[in-house]
Structure 1
Protein backbone atom coordinates (compact mmCIF):
# COMPACT_ATOMS: atom_id res chain seq x y z
CA UNK A 1 0.00 0.00 0.00
CA UNK A 2 1.15 3.52 -0.86
CA UNK A 3 0.30 6.69 1.05
CA UNK A 4 -1.36 9.43 -0.97
CA UNK A 5 -3.18 12.67 -0.17
CA UNK A 6 -6.30 14.03 -1.81
CA UNK A 7 -7.92 17.45 -1.78
CA UNK A 8 -11.71 17.80 -1.87
CA UNK A 9 -13.85 20.85 -2.60
CA UNK A 10 -17.45 21.79 -3.32
CA UNK A 11 -19.37 25.03 -3.80
CA UNK A 12 -22.74 23.95 -5.21
CA UNK A 13 -25.67 22.62 -3.23
CA UNK A 14 -25.20 20.90 0.14
CA UNK A 15 -21.42 21.20 0.32
CA UNK A 16 -21.09 19.24 3.55
CA UNK A 17 -23.11 16.34 2.16
CA UNK A 18 -21.08 16.38 -1.08
CA UNK A 19 -17.77 16.11 0.78
CA UNK A 20 -19.15 13.33 2.98
CA UNK A 21 -20.43 11.46 -0.07
CA UNK A 22 -17.06 11.83 -1.79
CA UNK A 23 -15.27 10.38 1.24
CA UNK A 24 -17.76 7.50 1.37
CA UNK A 25 -17.34 6.87 -2.36
CA UNK A 26 -13.56 6.83 -2.11
CA UNK A 27 -13.63 4.59 0.98
CA UNK A 28 -15.87 2.12 -0.89
CA UNK A 29 -13.45 1.93 -3.83
CA UNK A 30 -11.37 -1.27 -3.93
CA UNK A 31 -7.71 -0.45 -3.38
CA UNK A 32 -8.35 2.71 -1.33
CA UNK A 33 -8.38 2.91 2.46
CA UNK A 34 -9.04 6.32 4.03
CA UNK A 35 -6.59 6.82 6.90
CA UNK A 36 -7.08 10.50 7.76
CA UNK A 37 -9.68 13.21 7.14
CA UNK A 38 -9.29 16.87 7.91
CA UNK A 39 -12.01 19.12 9.20
CA UNK A 40 -14.08 20.95 6.62
CA UNK A 41 -12.98 24.53 5.89
CA UNK A 42 -15.04 27.34 4.44
CA UNK A 43 -12.85 29.07 1.85
CA UNK A 44 -13.30 32.00 -0.51
CA UNK A 45 -13.47 31.27 -4.25
CA UNK A 46 -10.13 31.23 -6.00
CA UNK A 47 -9.27 31.85 -9.65
CA UNK A 48 -12.72 32.68 -10.93
CA UNK A 49 -14.01 34.63 -7.91
CA UNK A 50 -17.53 35.28 -9.27
CA UNK A 51 -19.02 32.25 -7.50
CA UNK A 52 -20.12 30.97 -4.10
CA UNK A 53 -17.70 30.08 -1.28
CA UNK A 54 -16.18 26.60 -1.15
CA UNK A 55 -16.00 23.89 1.43
CA UNK A 56 -12.60 22.17 1.32
CA UNK A 57 -11.05 19.18 3.07
CA UNK A 58 -8.08 16.83 2.74
CA UNK A 59 -7.83 13.05 2.93
CA UNK A 60 -4.95 10.74 3.63
CA UNK A 61 -5.31 7.36 1.95
CA UNK A 62 -3.42 4.10 1.65
CA UNK A 63 -3.81 2.69 -1.83
CA UNK A 64 -2.76 -0.24 -3.94
CA UNK A 65 -3.76 1.70 -7.06
CA UNK A 66 -1.24 3.30 -9.38
CA UNK A 67 -1.25 7.11 -9.50
CA UNK A 68 -3.29 7.09 -12.72
CA UNK A 69 -5.73 4.50 -11.37
CA UNK A 70 -6.17 6.61 -8.22
CA UNK A 71 -6.94 9.61 -10.44
CA UNK A 72 -9.48 7.51 -12.35
CA UNK A 73 -11.11 6.46 -9.08
CA UNK A 74 -11.39 10.12 -8.03
CA UNK A 75 -12.92 11.05 -11.38
CA UNK A 76 -15.39 8.17 -11.11
CA UNK A 77 -16.55 9.39 -7.68
CA UNK A 78 -16.86 12.92 -9.07
CA UNK A 79 -19.04 11.72 -11.97
CA UNK A 80 -21.24 9.67 -9.64
CA UNK A 81 -21.83 12.80 -7.57
CA UNK A 82 -22.84 14.81 -10.64
CA UNK A 83 -19.63 16.63 -11.53
CA UNK A 84 -19.75 18.27 -14.95
CA UNK A 85 -16.67 20.16 -16.09
CA UNK A 86 -17.95 23.38 -17.65
CA UNK A 87 -15.39 26.09 -16.97
CA UNK A 88 -11.92 26.14 -15.50
CA UNK A 89 -11.87 27.14 -11.82
CA UNK A 90 -15.65 27.51 -11.97
CA UNK A 91 -18.37 26.24 -9.64
CA UNK A 92 -18.42 22.52 -8.97
CA UNK A 93 -20.55 20.07 -7.04
CA UNK A 94 -17.37 18.18 -6.13
CA UNK A 95 -13.70 18.31 -6.97
CA UNK A 96 -11.22 15.62 -5.93
CA UNK A 97 -7.54 16.21 -6.65
CA UNK A 98 -4.62 13.87 -6.14
CA UNK A 99 -2.20 16.14 -4.26
CA UNK A 100 0.67 13.74 -3.68
CA UNK A 101 1.39 10.05 -4.09
CA UNK A 102 4.32 8.90 -1.94
CA UNK A 103 7.43 10.35 -3.57
CA UNK A 104 6.11 9.91 -7.10
CA UNK A 105 6.82 12.52 -9.71
CA UNK A 106 4.48 12.32 -12.68
CA UNK A 107 4.00 14.81 -15.47
CA UNK A 108 1.85 13.84 -18.41
CA UNK A 109 -1.30 15.01 -20.16
CA UNK A 110 -3.57 13.50 -17.48
CA UNK A 111 -1.71 13.89 -14.20
CA UNK A 112 0.95 16.02 -12.56
CA UNK A 113 2.35 14.88 -9.21
CA UNK A 114 2.81 16.40 -6.86
CA UNK A 115 -0.17 18.56 -7.85
CA UNK A 116 1.21 21.56 -9.72
CA UNK A 117 -0.51 24.17 -7.52
CA UNK A 118 -0.55 22.47 -4.12
CA UNK A 119 2.11 24.75 -2.59
CA UNK A 120 0.43 27.92 -3.90
CA UNK A 121 -3.09 27.44 -2.52
CA UNK A 122 -3.88 28.04 1.12
CA UNK A 123 -7.33 26.47 0.67
CA UNK A 124 -5.53 23.19 -0.09
CA UNK A 125 -2.72 23.50 2.44
CA UNK A 126 -4.78 24.49 5.49
CA UNK A 127 -6.76 21.21 5.55
CA UNK A 128 -3.70 19.23 4.46
CA UNK A 129 -1.65 20.73 7.31
CA UNK A 130 -4.22 19.40 9.76
CA UNK A 131 -3.56 15.78 8.76
CA UNK A 132 -0.01 15.90 7.33
CA UNK A 133 1.89 18.99 8.54
CA UNK A 134 5.30 17.40 7.98
CA UNK A 135 4.55 15.97 4.54
CA UNK A 136 7.32 17.12 2.20
CA UNK A 137 6.19 18.38 -1.20
CA UNK A 138 8.62 20.07 -3.56
CA UNK A 139 11.40 20.17 -0.97
CA UNK A 140 9.41 21.82 1.83
CA UNK A 141 6.87 20.69 4.38
CA UNK A 142 3.22 21.54 4.08
CA UNK A 143 3.59 23.90 7.06
CA UNK A 144 6.58 25.67 5.49
CA UNK A 145 4.66 26.20 2.25
CA UNK A 146 1.60 27.40 4.16
CA UNK A 147 3.64 29.93 6.14
CA UNK A 148 4.24 31.85 2.88
CA UNK A 149 0.54 32.15 1.99
CA UNK A 150 -2.34 34.40 2.95
CA UNK A 151 -4.98 32.38 4.86
CA UNK A 152 -7.56 35.17 4.93
CA UNK A 153 -11.13 33.97 4.79
CA UNK A 154 -10.31 30.31 5.51
CA UNK A 155 -12.29 29.14 8.51
CA UNK A 156 -12.96 25.71 10.03
CA UNK A 157 -16.60 24.68 9.94
Structure 2
Protein backbone atom coordinates (compact mmCIF):
# COMPACT_ATOMS: atom_id res chain seq x y z
CA UNK A 1 0.00 0.00 0.00
CA UNK A 2 1.30 3.43 -0.90
CA UNK A 3 1.78 6.18 1.66
CA UNK A 4 0.80 9.80 1.17
CA UNK A 5 3.84 11.98 1.80
CA UNK A 6 3.58 15.74 2.23
CA UNK A 7 6.70 17.76 1.41
CA UNK A 8 7.72 21.39 1.42
CA UNK A 9 10.15 22.50 -1.26
CA UNK A 10 11.90 25.82 -1.36
CA UNK A 11 14.98 27.87 -2.02
CA UNK A 12 16.28 31.41 -2.22
CA UNK A 13 19.37 31.11 -4.46
CA UNK A 14 19.65 30.93 -8.23
CA UNK A 15 16.59 30.97 -10.47
CA UNK A 16 14.16 30.05 -7.71
CA UNK A 17 11.22 29.21 -9.98
CA UNK A 18 13.22 26.99 -12.33
CA UNK A 19 14.78 25.19 -9.36
CA UNK A 20 11.39 24.70 -7.70
CA UNK A 21 9.87 23.35 -10.92
CA UNK A 22 12.89 21.08 -11.41
CA UNK A 23 12.49 19.63 -7.90
CA UNK A 24 8.78 18.98 -8.49
CA UNK A 25 9.58 17.36 -11.86
CA UNK A 26 12.28 15.15 -10.30
CA UNK A 27 9.88 13.91 -7.63
CA UNK A 28 6.98 13.47 -10.08
CA UNK A 29 9.19 11.44 -12.42
CA UNK A 30 9.70 8.80 -9.71
CA UNK A 31 6.54 9.05 -7.60
CA UNK A 32 2.85 9.73 -8.14
CA UNK A 33 2.21 13.46 -7.74
CA UNK A 34 -1.17 13.79 -6.00
CA UNK A 35 -1.46 17.49 -5.29
CA UNK A 36 0.53 20.71 -5.10
CA UNK A 37 -0.07 24.09 -3.57
CA UNK A 38 0.35 27.47 -5.13
CA UNK A 39 3.87 28.89 -5.11
CA UNK A 40 4.55 31.30 -2.26
CA UNK A 41 7.22 33.96 -1.86
CA UNK A 42 8.30 34.02 1.76
CA UNK A 43 10.68 35.78 4.07
CA UNK A 44 13.58 33.76 5.44
CA UNK A 45 12.95 32.05 8.78
CA UNK A 46 15.52 31.39 11.49
CA UNK A 47 17.61 34.56 11.21
CA UNK A 48 20.40 33.18 8.99
CA UNK A 49 19.27 33.23 5.34
CA UNK A 50 18.96 36.63 3.68
CA UNK A 51 16.99 36.42 0.44
CA UNK A 52 13.30 35.77 -0.21
CA UNK A 53 12.33 32.12 -0.74
CA UNK A 54 9.93 30.48 -3.12
CA UNK A 55 8.11 27.63 -1.39
CA UNK A 56 5.57 25.03 -2.45
CA UNK A 57 3.90 22.06 -0.78
CA UNK A 58 3.49 18.87 -2.77
CA UNK A 59 1.88 15.57 -1.90
CA UNK A 60 3.05 12.34 -3.46
CA UNK A 61 2.35 8.64 -3.07
CA UNK A 62 5.14 6.16 -2.57
CA UNK A 63 5.69 2.61 -1.42
CA UNK A 64 9.32 3.38 -0.60
CA UNK A 65 10.56 3.24 3.01
CA UNK A 66 10.99 6.64 4.70
CA UNK A 67 14.80 6.51 5.03
CA UNK A 68 15.24 5.43 1.40
CA UNK A 69 12.91 8.23 0.35
CA UNK A 70 14.94 10.71 2.44
CA UNK A 71 18.11 9.62 0.63
CA UNK A 72 16.39 10.24 -2.72
CA UNK A 73 15.21 13.75 -1.85
CA UNK A 74 18.69 14.62 -0.58
CA UNK A 75 20.06 13.50 -3.97
CA UNK A 76 17.53 15.78 -5.68
CA UNK A 77 18.65 18.69 -3.48
CA UNK A 78 22.31 18.07 -4.35
CA UNK A 79 21.54 17.73 -8.08
CA UNK A 80 19.99 21.21 -7.87
CA UNK A 81 23.09 22.74 -6.28
CA UNK A 82 22.30 22.34 -2.58
CA UNK A 83 25.36 22.83 -0.37
CA UNK A 84 24.92 22.21 3.36
CA UNK A 85 27.42 24.74 4.69
CA UNK A 86 25.26 26.82 7.02
CA UNK A 87 22.32 25.61 9.13
CA UNK A 88 19.16 27.46 7.99
CA UNK A 89 21.33 29.42 5.54
CA UNK A 90 20.75 30.43 1.94
CA UNK A 91 20.18 27.50 -0.43
CA UNK A 92 19.15 26.57 -3.93
CA UNK A 93 16.77 23.83 -2.81
CA UNK A 94 15.53 22.38 0.44
CA UNK A 95 13.05 19.51 0.56
CA UNK A 96 11.56 18.59 3.92
CA UNK A 97 9.16 15.79 4.76
CA UNK A 98 6.26 17.26 6.73
CA UNK A 99 3.97 14.24 7.03
CA UNK A 100 4.06 10.58 6.07
CA UNK A 101 0.37 9.64 6.30
CA UNK A 102 -0.15 10.01 10.07
CA UNK A 103 3.07 8.18 10.94
CA UNK A 104 5.31 9.38 13.77
CA UNK A 105 9.07 8.85 13.36
CA UNK A 106 11.59 10.17 15.87
CA UNK A 107 15.08 9.02 14.94
CA UNK A 108 18.40 10.86 14.80
CA UNK A 109 18.19 11.08 10.99
CA UNK A 110 14.47 11.66 10.45
CA UNK A 111 11.69 13.29 12.42
CA UNK A 112 8.12 13.08 11.11
CA UNK A 113 5.99 15.13 11.49
CA UNK A 114 8.49 17.90 10.89
CA UNK A 115 9.27 19.33 14.35
CA UNK A 116 9.32 23.04 13.40
CA UNK A 117 6.29 23.27 11.14
CA UNK A 118 3.92 24.67 13.78
CA UNK A 119 6.17 27.74 14.18
CA UNK A 120 6.62 28.43 10.46
CA UNK A 121 4.02 30.44 8.61
CA UNK A 122 5.78 29.69 5.30
CA UNK A 123 4.92 26.01 5.87
CA UNK A 124 1.44 26.44 7.35
CA UNK A 125 0.04 28.86 4.71
CA UNK A 126 0.53 26.57 1.69
CA UNK A 127 -0.24 23.48 3.78
CA UNK A 128 -3.53 25.09 4.81
CA UNK A 129 -4.31 25.62 1.11
CA UNK A 130 -4.09 21.85 0.49
CA UNK A 131 -5.07 20.22 3.78
CA UNK A 132 -6.75 22.63 6.20
CA UNK A 133 -8.59 19.84 8.04
CA UNK A 134 -5.68 17.40 8.32
CA UNK A 135 -5.04 16.63 11.98
CA UNK A 136 -1.41 16.81 13.07
CA UNK A 137 -0.74 13.33 14.51
CA UNK A 138 1.28 14.64 17.48
CA UNK A 139 -0.41 17.96 18.27
CA UNK A 140 -3.98 16.76 17.61
CA UNK A 141 -4.93 20.03 15.88
CA UNK A 142 -5.91 20.77 12.29
CA UNK A 143 -3.55 22.64 10.01
CA UNK A 144 -6.05 25.52 9.96
CA UNK A 145 -5.95 25.79 13.77
CA UNK A 146 -2.14 25.58 13.79
CA UNK A 147 -2.00 28.44 11.26
CA UNK A 148 -4.36 30.54 13.38
CA UNK A 149 -2.21 29.88 16.47
CA UNK A 150 1.12 30.50 14.71
CA UNK A 151 3.01 33.46 16.15
CA UNK A 152 5.30 33.84 13.10
CA UNK A 153 4.61 37.26 11.58
CA UNK A 154 6.85 36.90 8.53
CA UNK A 155 5.42 37.79 5.12
CA UNK A 156 4.03 34.92 3.06
CA UNK A 157 2.60 35.87 -0.33
CA UNK A 158 0.89 33.54 -2.80
CA UNK A 159 2.29 34.27 -6.23
CA UNK A 160 1.07 31.48 -8.53
CA UNK A 161 -1.29 28.51 -8.54
TM-score grouping bracket, smaller chain normalisation = over 0.9
Q: Whole-Å Cα distance in 2 between the matches of residues 105 and 156 of structure 1? A: 30
Q: Who is 2:113 aligned against?
A: 114
Match of 2:99 in 1: 100
Unaligned runs of 5+ in 2: none
CA distance in structure 2 between the partners assigned to 1:127 and 1:50 by the alignment: 20
The aligned counterpart of 1:155 is 157
Which is worse superposed, 67-76 or 120-129?
Answer: 67-76
Q: TM-score, normalised by structure 1?
A: 0.94
- In structure 1, stretches of 5+ residues that fail to align are none
Shift of 1:50: 5.1
Q: Secondary structure at the match of 1:123?
A: helix
Residues 2-151 of structure 1 mapped to structure 2, 5 A cutoff = 2-29=3-30, 32-49=31-48, 51-137=50-136, 138-149=139-150, 150-151=152-153
Cα drift, residue 48 of structure 1: 2.3
Distance, in Å, in 2 between the alignment partners of 1:11 and 1:89 is 11
C-alpha RMSD over aligned residues: 1.2
What SS class does the counterpart of residue 9 from structure 2 fall into? strand
Residue aligned with 1:140, SS: coil
Please give the alpha-carbon distance, in whole angstroms, between the structure 1 residues aligned to 2:70 and 2:109.
Answer: 9
Aligned residues between the structures: 155
User: Per-residue CA shift, 1:26-69, capped at 9, x if unaligned?
Assistant: 1112xx21110111111111112551011111001111111112
